[in-house]
């Protein structure tokens, strides 16, 4: 069976540095910082008191008021960026085969806000105080379901959940389904709304979050010598994947082509990567092999780059292992330095950043990067965006549980 080619024809983004794709991209190339004091609850008693929150967002722009109350914020985010991406793609839903259009959409945590609210109601008032909408608001697959329902998309419909690799896995699955001919159009991505008391308390207990409360604007510093934990982010990213001939036939605008995926497991530890980033090595190698290209063609890596001690070191070592001498010619950056870590939405947001980098020939910076170490000495694009022609870009995401995903995007010429 010949493999179909898969292109990106629409994108939507809701992030801590912008509530649209245009705002997000402007924020990235200007080095905008999304960090600030937590406003969603009183963080006074918490070790970490800051995060990268979505700001000035009105979900009523996209969702009916009655329906809004029946959804968790992570679903608000997903429906909003799905609307942006479908509009951006200029898809006329009345003219496509809806049975050949589907949704794969992920969340690493799902309806955490709803879970905490309903548990509080139960503890204070018993079982009768729990809302009948509790389960359909909370479950992680409901974003995919709600997008499918809103747009009548009757093709493959499900969710992925693999921690920080969640939405990269969603994109990879959607790519495979179109590539093998099971669908022509897929709405895919991820959403997260987990800046909640339990989430912050849990990540604090795991000593994963930065505690630089007095230096919060400097706290997300991937690959820097003084990194001390990630900064929680939230938001959503949606991508429209489309079979190439279908896209060309309707005159779609094409952001880029998906040409390879690499999916591996560490089989090592619940939270820590294996020495040398062995799982990440295999993920990037599989990605290149899937595309049938040599490492030397890659121009840019949008790194997982969380600002945690083990991730940044081992991802760097993995890049050096895969790319050899070419590693020194690569542009690498972590957009988490600006957005914070969007957990299950990170892969989608960073895939969008990679596609926009290709389309605009600009490498987004790694802000707050001050000091290198002998082991971490790649070109991390410190502080300022750089003009560069990009033909191939990899987006890496690695999640708790040892889940690794690498996506390879190519500039579309046609």
Question: The dihedral of CA 199, 203, 204, 209: what is its sign?
Answer: negative
Nearest partner of 249 among 84, 96, 411, judged by Cα: 96
If one counts every other C-beta atom within 10 angstroms of the C-beta of residue 398, the result is: 31
Nearest partner of 76 among 202, 188, 234, judged by Cα: 234
Which residues carry out catalysis? 164, 304, 341
CA–CA gap between residue 215 and residue 308 (Å, rounded): 16
Facing residues of 242 across strands?
7, 185
Q: Where are the beta strands (DSSP E) in 137-201?
A: 157-158, 185-192
If one counts every other C-beta atom within 10 angstroms of the C-beta of residue 285, the result is: 17
CA–CA gap between residue 409 and residue 261 (Å, rounded): 9
CA–CA gap between residue 361 and residue 372 (Å, rounded): 26
Please tell me the chain's helix, strand, coil percentages from 3-state DSSP, rounded to the nearest 5. 40, 20, 40
Nearest partner of 233 among 143, 337, 81, 312, judged by Cα: 337
If one counts every other C-beta atom within 10 angstroms of the C-beta of residue 181, the result is: 13
Q: Judge contact between 352 and 13, C-beta under 8 A.
A: yes
Token pair belonging to 144? 């995919």
Distances (CA, A) of 229 to 178, 209, 210, 222, 336: 38, 4, 4, 9, 12
CA–CA gap between residue 392 and residue 405 (Å, rounded): 16
Residue 94 is given by DSSP the state G
Q: Judge contact between 122 and 130, C-beta under 8 A.
A: yes
Please tell me whether residue 301 adopts helix, strand or coil conformation. strand
Q: Which residues contact 114 (CB under 8 A, 6 or more apart)?
A: 72, 134, 137, 138
């Amino acid at each position: 069976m010949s493999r179909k080619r898969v292109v990106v024809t629409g994108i939507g983004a809701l992030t801590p540095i912008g509530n649209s794709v245009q705002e997000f991209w402007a924020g990235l190339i200007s080095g905008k910082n999304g960090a600030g004091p937590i406003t969603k609850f009183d963080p006074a008693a918490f070790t970490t008191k800051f995060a990268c929150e979505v700001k000035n967002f009105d979900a009523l722009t996209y969702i009916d008021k009655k329906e809004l109350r029946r959804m968790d914020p992570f679903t608000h985010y997903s429906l909003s960026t799905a609307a942006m991406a479908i509009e951006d793609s200029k898809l006329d839903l009345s003219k496509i085969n809806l049975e050949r259009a589907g949704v794969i959409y992920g969340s690493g945590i799902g309806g955490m806000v709803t879970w905490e609210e309903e548990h509080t109601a139960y503890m204070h008032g018993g079982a009768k105080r729990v809302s009948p909408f509790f389960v359909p608001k909370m479950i992680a697959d409901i974003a995919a379901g709600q997008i499918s329902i809103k747009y009548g998309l009757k093709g493959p419909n499900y969710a992925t959940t693999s921690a920080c690799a969640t939405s990269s896995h969603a994109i990879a699955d959607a790519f495979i389904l179109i590539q093998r001919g099971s669908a022509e159009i897929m709405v895919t991505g991820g959403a997260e709304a987990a800046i909640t008391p339990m989430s912050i308390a849990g990540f604090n207990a795991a000593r994963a979050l930065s505690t630089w409360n007095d230096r919060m604007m400097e706290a997300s510093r991937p690959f820097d010598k003084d990194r001390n934990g990630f900064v929680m982010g939230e938001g959503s990213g949606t991508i429209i994947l489309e079979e190439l001939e279908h896209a060309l036939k309707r005159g779609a605008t094409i952001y880029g082509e998906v040409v390879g995926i690499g999916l591996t497991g560490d089989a090592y530890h619940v939270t820590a990567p294996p020495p040398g980033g062995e799982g990440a090595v295999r993920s990037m190698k599989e990605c290149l092999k899937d595309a049938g290209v040599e490492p030397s063609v890659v121009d840019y890596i949008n790194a997982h780059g969380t600002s945690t001690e083990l991730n940044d070191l081992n991802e760097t070592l993995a890049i050096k292992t895969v790319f050899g001498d070419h590693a020194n010619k690569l542009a690498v950056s972590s957009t988490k330095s600006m957005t914070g870590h969007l957990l299950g939405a990170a892969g989608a947001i960073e895939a969008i950043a990679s596609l926009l980098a290709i389309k605009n020939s600009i490498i987004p910076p790694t802000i707050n990067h001050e000091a290198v170490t002998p082991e971490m000495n790649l070109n991390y694009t410190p502080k300022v965006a750089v003009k560069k022609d990009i033909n191939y870009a990899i987006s890496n995401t690695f999640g708790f549980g040892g889940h690794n995903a690498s996506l390879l995007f190519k500039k579309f010429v046609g």
